[in-house]
Chains A and B, each alone.
Chain A
Amino acid sequence: DAGVTQSPTHLIKTRGQHVTLRCSPISGHKSVSWYQQVLGQGPQFIFQYYEKEERGRGNFPDRFSARQFPNYSSELNVNALLLGDSALYLCASSFLDSRGEQYFGPGTRLTVT
């Protein structure tokens, strides 16, 4: 079975632009979560969706938004990009919510110049 997939793998954007990152969960998984990992730190929780409803939101500004589609795939949108948004963005899927075992995708590396 395919694991969690994310696209694109790498992305370079300019300050002020908008970006959309995509994630497809493992088949049968109903929960998708997004994380931001900056160099030298552990991943930080951004959003969790379960059964297409937002179940949790981390301490990120309103420039960050997400949604989950009927097929359980998800998008993370970031508006008005800042240099500090440069990071590895990770998506995880799980059959349950945060209580279930989380499986991570390979990530999207975003560079903002």
Chain B
Amino acid sequence: GIQVEQSPPDLILQEGANSTLRCNFSDSVNNLQWFHQNPWGQLINLFYIPSGTKQNGRLSATTVATERYSLLYISSSQTTDSGVYFCAVAGNQFYFGTGTSLTVIP
């Protein structure tokens, strides 16, 4: 199967700071998504981004498929950004990374 590695595993930020989360994957993929998992377990779609760059408010993402990595940028972080961020990729099935746990402190 496809290996998905996320870094860093844990991140603590002061409110207002910027951050970059990275996702490396081991093979070519048909689909790549970023999710935010809230404390109740709900996975919230952030980006569907098999390649290229997208922006949505304070969040943006870039996937370089030829180099097998994706980046999620969070600018001007807020306490509501806290939670676990997952990258997931699709080959013949959907593979999740181990996540980045983000804590934003006021």
Contacts and interface: CB of A to CB of B under 8 A. Distances in A.
B43 interface: yes
Interface stretch (B51-59, B60-68, B69-77, B87-95): B87-95
B92 A98 contact: yes
A42 B91 CA distance: 17
Nearest to B6: A42
A99 B41 contact: no
A33 B94 CA distance: 9
Contacts of A104: 35, 42-43, 45
Contacts, number: 60
B96 A48 contact: no
Interface string B16-41: 00000000000000110101000011
Interface of B: prevailing SS? strand
B92 A44 contact: no
Interface in B84-106: 86, 88, 90-99
Question: Which range contains the number of B residues in contact with the other chain?
Answer: 20 to 34
Contacts of A56: 92-93
Interface string A40-73: 0111110010000000101000000000000000
A25 interface: no
18 contacts: A33-B94, A37-B41, A41-B98, A42-B4, A42-B88, A42-B96, A42-B98, A43-B88, A43-B96, A48-B93, A90-B43, A98-B31, A98-B91, A101-B31, A101-B48, A102-B33, A104-B45, A109-B41
Interface of A: 33, 35, 37, 41-45, 48, 56, 58, 88, 90, 92, 98-104, 106-107, 109
